[in-house]
Amino acid sequence: MFKKVLVANRGEIAVRIIRACRELGIQTVGIFSEADRNALHVRYADESYLLGPAPSRESYLRADKILDIAARSGVDAIHPGYGFLAEREDFSAQCADRGFVFIGPKPTSIAAMGDKAEARATVIKAGVPVVPGTEDVGNLTDDDLLSVAPKIGFPLLIKATAGGGGKGMREIKSLDEMPTLLASARREAESAFGDGNVYLEKLVEGARHIEFQVMADSFGNVIHLGERECSIQRRHQKLLEESPSVFMDEELRKKMGDVAVKAAQAVDYLNAGTIEFLVDKERNFYFLEMNTRLQVEHPVTEMVTGVDIVAEQIRIARGRQLSYTQDQIEFKGHAIECRINAEDPFNGFVPSTGRITHSLLPTGPGIRVDSGVYPGFEVTPYYDPMIAKLIVWGETRAQAILRMRRALEEYRIVGVRTNIPFHQTLMDSHRFMGGQFDTRFVEERFSLDDAMESRESHSEIAAILATLAAHQLSERSAHIVRRNERDASNWKWVGRWERMHR
Ligand code: MV4
């Protein structure tokens, strides 16, 4: 086993990885920027080293400094977490060159999936279904693209080959608007990735975003750990993930799982990865891209399979076989994760910074909180606003939703604004409860302001009630307002919901 691992990340994911190491008896080395001197991951690691100033490019993106710290502290391996250097093929290669095991895939796999047009071409050869679109790789000129577009058909999407995450993406309704939008897509891709190369795909409308967790060891074993439903997102930022997807059945899971495994095998994959699919209303599914890293939402898969994905990553990286065969993977119950962001849901989700003065975490049956903060910690504007993840498990989806409501009510964070009220409103949404949503749901059909406005129309009654019930309300005021009356008890509600879905 490794003796010592460097965790090349910060926040909740660094803490998560340190926890896995601790359970495996592995010493840990943390790294931190000047803004993170008092961060939780620094306290959890056995030893920690300063990288440099707060901005990521001067700290968490400094591969050279991180490798020097790895050498100085004598680690055997480096876990990159997600973001920062996690999907940089050069970093994965440099780790190997300097004699450290990179706990993740090989540089060749990262490269093959990092170029989204190349990824398409590679998986097509392996028989993986993709959305109809361009199939050539290399730099396609505007003339190439304009001539192939009508054959693909409109509406279509321009996507950046270096992309992912929707940057440089443009929707094209007809050929005449294409030249202008091609130029702006290339400009955006050039400034975001330093690469203006693009490709085309037919637009799949009203689709769900469902992804499969895969794991591969160095003995050629590749398994999948089922799906995560990730359609609840805003501006390409996921807000909630769950497993299983309400859309899934045994047969579709088997089909998509087999395809996910094939896609991983097509790039000779090693370690943990995620295959993203679009699934349309007719249950046609298409490979979108592969994320060659541990993902934020991995806990929902851990909760329904019982697999410790990070421990399994470490095991694979040191050359052991996967602890599970596909047949040994069983799915039990339902898990939901809410991403808790330091941002103001009542004000365009602008990031909220400041010192966390108090915090009270929900606990009890079926609750897990992966947090990167604690009372006294200052949330700075330099990094991702996600400060914690609240994950619940229930026997059924209905039970998981009730548990999530209970946990969101218990959760107290004072000092920064959080999106907890957003999640509470989401948990009350009938469309969410009924599983009737796709990737447009949050942006087009769900407005926190509307939900709040209908409450404001009763503002006078609310004011009187507020005065009368000051005691009770003070308990809830940390989360602003939420509907606290339902027309039925939770028991009745579960019964109804479950009868509806029989
Ligand atoms: C699509 C699509 C519809 N049709 N591709 C957005 C980010 C990038 N990862 C891929 N994305 C999409 N690709 C085709 N051919 C719709 C999206 C999309 C989306 C995908 C996943 C999760 C959320 C999304 C929100 C808007 C659009």
User: pLDDT tens-digit profile of 110-139?
Assistant: 999 999 999 999 999 999 999 999 988 888
pLDDT in tens, 415-439: 999 999 999 999 999 999 999 998 9
Q: Which of 293, 397, 403, 482 is catalytic?
A: 293
Q: Per-residue confidence at 480, pLDDT binned at 50, 70, 90?
A: very low
CA distance 262 to 47: 40
Taking the model in full, what pTM does it have? 0.90
Closest CA to 119 of 325, 288, 304: 288
What per-residue confidence (pLDDT) applies to 455? 47
CA distance 181 to 193: 18
502 DSSP 8-state letter? -
Mean pLDDT of 37-42: 98
The answer, yes or no, to whether residue 476 has pLDDT greater than 90, is no
Q: Which residues pair with 238 in a beta bridge?
A: 233
What per-residue confidence (pLDDT) applies to 467? 64
What per-residue confidence (pLDDT) applies to 481? 41
User: Ligand 1 — pocket residues by CB below 6 A?
Assistant: 131, 157, 164-166, 201-204, 207, 209, 233, 236, 278, 288-289, 439
Locate 483 and state its tokens: 């509907």
Lowest mean pLDDT among 135-139, 358-362, 374-378: 135-139
Q: Per-residue confidence at 469, pLDDT binned at 50, 70, 90?
A: low
pLDDT in tens, 341-354: 999 999 999 999 99
* 25 CA → ligand 1 middle, Å: 41
Mean pLDDT of 162-178: 92
236 DSSP 8-state letter? T
DSSP for 241-299 reads EEES-TT--HHHHHHHHHHHHHHHHHTT--EEEEEEEEE-TT--EEEEEEE-S--TTHH
Which of 116, 158, 167, 169 to mutate for ligand 1's pocket (most ligand atoms within 8 Å of CB)? Answer: 169
The answer, yes or no, to whether residue 501 has pLDDT greater than 80, is no
Buried b (16+ CB within 10 A) or exposed e, 49-75: bebeebebeebbbbbebbbebbeebeb
* 396 CA → ligand 1 middle, Å: 29
Order of strands across the sheet with 77-79?
Answer: 47-52, 27-33, 4-7, 77-79, 101-102
Q: Which residues pair with 170 in a beta bridge?
A: 158
Lowest mean pLDDT among 201-210, 356-365, 399-408, 449-458: 449-458
Total H helices, total E strands in the chain:
18, 24
The answer, yes or no, to whether residue 68 has pLDDT greater than 70, is yes
Domains of the chain: 4-103 (3.40.50.20), 132-202 (3.30.1490.20), 205-331 (3.30.470.20), 333-446 (3.30.470.20), 459-502 (no CATH)
What per-residue confidence (pLDDT) applies to 473? 52
Which residue CA neighbors atom 18 of ligand 1 most closely? 439
Q: Which residues lie below 8 Å from residue 490, measured CB to CB, with a gap of 6+?
A: 402
Q: Per-residue confidence at 456, pLDDT binned at 50, 70, 90?
A: very low
Closest CA to 387 of 19, 15, 134: 15
Q: Per-residue confidence at 327, pLDDT binned at 50, 70, 90?
A: very high
Q: How many CB atoms lie within 10 A of CB 171?
A: 13
Average pLDDT, the chain: 92
Lowest mean pLDDT among 137-141, 267-271, 486-490: 486-490
* 322 CA → ligand 1 middle, Å: 32
Q: Per-residue confidence at 463, pLDDT binned at 50, 70, 90?
A: low
% of the chain exceeding 70 in pLDDT: 91
Three-class SS of 41-79? HHHHCCEEEEEECCCHHHCCCCHHHHHHHHHHHCCCEEE
Mark whether 16 is an active-site residue: no
List strand residue ranges (DSSP E) for 25-174, in order: 27-33, 47-52, 77-79, 101-102, 156-160, 170-172
Closest CA to 312 of 270, 267, 276: 270
Lowest mean pLDDT among 131-145, 311-325, 442-456, 475-489: 475-489
pLDDT in tens, 194-230: 999 999 999 999 999 999 999 999 999 999 999 999 9
Mean pLDDT of 292-307: 98
HSE at residue 357, side-chain half, CA atoms within 13 A, is 5
